[in-house]
Amino acid sequence: MRRLVGIVLVVLAACGGSEADPDPSRATTSTTASTTSTTLVAASGECGLEGSYPEPWPERPRYQAELDVDPDAGTVRGELAVVFTPPESTDRLVFRLWANGPRSGAAGGRMEIVEATVDGAATTGTYESGNAGPGTPGTIYVLTREGGFDGGIAVDVRLSFELDMPGPINERIAKVGSSLRLGSILPTLSWIRGAGWHTSPAVENFSESVASEVADYDVRVRAPESFTVLATGEEVEPGRFQAWAVRDWAATVGRLDVVEGSAQGGRTRVIVGVAEGSGDDPDRRLADTVAALDDFLARYGPYPATVLSVGVTSSLSGGIEFPEHLMVGAGSSRDHLIHEVAHMWFYSLVGNDQYADPWLDEGLTEYAESRFLANTASVRAKSVPGYGQGRLGEGHDYWAANTDAFFRSVYVQGTQALAAFGDEVGGLDAVDCGLRRYVLDSAYSVAEPADLVEALEAQTGVDPTPVFERFGAL
Ligand SMILES: [Zn+2]
C-alpha cells in the first residue's frame, strides 16, 4: 500500500524525490478453481540463478463464491464455500472479516455472517473484535464444533454474508459514486502453516495487518449490466474469475473505461479500468503498468500470473495491492502505481505477516520502486523520524502509537537498509540478485525475516545481519 501523506511529501516529490510515496455455490460440494500451472523457470544469467518457483501448498484452501453487487444501494450479498484441510488438529476455524475494520466501520461499513454450515450441519459462529470498527460485530469470526477439526481431514464450510459498503473513504472497501472498491471482502481463513491461526488486530492507519497463505478462488460476481468488473483471477466467462494460488481476492466494480495490453513477452495480460469522469488516463496507466512488470521481471524473476488488472477510482490517495488486482487513486502519482506493481513480488508472490513484519513487504517494495525510478540515492538521503530510527523491524503494535512515522520508518528506512547492504556487496545489482533469490526460494509462502537474511547471504556470500541489526530490522 502506498499513500501520499500530506504536503511534506508533495514538496519532496517536487525536489526530485520519488515519494510517491447467489446461491449457486451452495449446490456444489467442491471447488473447481483453475488449475493452470504457473511453474516458471526463474533462472537468470546475470544472477547465476536456476530453478523454478516452489509448488504452492498442495492442501491450500479452495474457495468458491457468488457475489451479488448492488452499486446503487452499496450492498454486497455473498455465498462462500471453502474446502480446507487443517495441517494439524485444531479446535476452531478462524475467518477474517476485514470489512469490519476500524476505518470501514467508522464510515458505515459492516459485514455480517447470516448463515453458516460446517460439513452440512448448520451452526452459529462467534465474533471477536480484532480491533473492529464501531457498529460492526468483529474482524474475527470463529466456528467450532464438538470434537474440533482433525488434522489432514478436509472440512467443508459454507457462509452466507451481507456487506453494507462504507462511503467514499480512502480505503480498500469503499463506495465512491457508482464505483465500488471490494478489497479483501471475502471471509478468509487465517491459518498460517507452522504458526496456526492469525488473529492480529486490524490497524487504524492506511495499511495492512494481514497474513494469509495462498488459496484457489472461483468467484462469480453479479453486477448491473452497465458495470465493469475487474478482479483477482482470469475471467473465464463473463463475471466469473478463477485464481490459482493467491493469498487474497479483490475487485473493482464500476462504470469504467477499459484498455488492455500485455507484458512479460505476451504471457501476462494487463487490463486497466478507469472510472468514467475521474479524469485519469487509462492508456498512461496501462503503459506504466506494463513497463513496471517488465522491469521487475528482469530484476526479480517472473510474475507468475497470466493477468493483472488495475482499477482506478476516485477518493483514494495512493494505491492498494492485491494479488492480480491493483487499486489506484484517480490522479495519483505514477510512483504509487509502480509501487503497487512491485508488491506483486513482495507480498503477493512472497507473502509475509504484515502485522508483525511490515518492513518485509513495504521496505522491499519501496526499494524495488526506487530501483525502477532510479532514485535509490535520494531515498537514502531522506530523514527517518526519531520514533522510527533503528526500529525497522517493529510491528504494528509499535507503529499504532505513531502512525505518522510509519511511512518514513518502514518504507524509506527499509530501502535504506537494503541499500546499505548494497555497500557491503558491491552495489545494488547484487542486492537485486539477492532479492531474486528470496523470491525464487520463498514464492507462495509466508516468509519471515530469517528467509530474507538466508537468501541474501546465499546469493552474495555476505551475511546481512550486522547491517540489518543497525537498522533494527532483526
Ligand atoms: Zn506498499
Measured in Å, residue 20 CA sits from the centre of ligand 1 at 10
Per-residue pLDDT for 214 more than 90? Answer: yes
Quick: pLDDT tens for 91-148.
Answer: 999 999 999 999 999 999 999 999 999 999 999 999 999 999 999 999 999 999 999 9
Per-residue pLDDT for 20 more than 70? Answer: no
Q: Are 144 and 127 in contact (CB under 8 A)?
A: no
Measured in Å, residue 157 CA sits from the centre of ligand 1 at 32
pLDDT recorded at residue 44: 54
Q: Phi first, then psi: what are they for 47, rounded to 5°? A: -90, -10
Measured in Å, residue 356 CA sits from the centre of ligand 1 at 15
Selected from 3.30.530.20, 3.30.70.20, 1.10.390.10, 3.40.50.720, the CATH number assigned to the domain covering 7-21+351-470 reads: 1.10.390.10
Q: Which residue has the higher pLDDT, 14 or 385?
A: 385
Per-residue pLDDT for 165 more than 70? Answer: yes
Measured in Å, residue 172 CA sits from the centre of ligand 1 at 13
Confidence of residue 79 (pLDDT cuts 50, 70, 90): very high
Measured in Å, residue 22 CA sits from the centre of ligand 1 at 33
Q: Which amino acid is at 61?
A: P
Per-residue pLDDT for 187 more than 80? Answer: yes
Task: Share the mean pLDDT of the chain.
Answer: 92
Measured in Å, residue 216 CA sits from the centre of ligand 1 at 23
Measured in Å, residue 431 CA sits from the centre of ligand 1 at 19
Measured in Å, residue 346 CA sits from the centre of ligand 1 at 9
Q: pTM for this one?
A: 0.92
Measured in Å, residue 347 CA sits from the centre of ligand 1 at 9
Rg of the chain over CA atoms, in angstroms?
A: 21
Quick: pLDDT tens for 28-48.
Answer: 333 333 333 344 444 455 899
Q: Are 345 and 300 in contact (CB under 8 A)?
A: yes
Q: Give the residue among 315, 223, 225, 228 at the shortest CA–CA distance from 278.
A: 315
Measured in Å, residue 385 CA sits from the centre of ligand 1 at 19
Among 12-21, 65-74, 209-218, 354-363, which is the least confidently predicted range?
12-21
pLDDT recorded at residue 207: 86
Q: How far apart (Å, rounded) are the C-alpha atoms in residues 27 and 79? A: 11
Residue-range domain boundaries for the chain = 7-21+351-470
Quick: pLDDT tens for 45-72.
Answer: 589 998 999 999 999 999 999 999 999 9
Measured in Å, residue 341 CA sits from the centre of ligand 1 at 9
Mean of pLDDT values over 377-402: 98
Q: Which amino acid is at 116?
A: A
Please provide the size of the chain in residues.
474
Confidence of residue 291 (pLDDT cuts 50, 70, 90): very high
Joined together, the cell numbers standing for residue 185 give 471482502
Query: 297: buried, middle or exposed (CB in 10 Å: 19+, 13-18, 0-12)?
Result: middle
Measured in Å, residue 64 CA sits from the centre of ligand 1 at 28
According to DSSP, residue 41 is labeled B
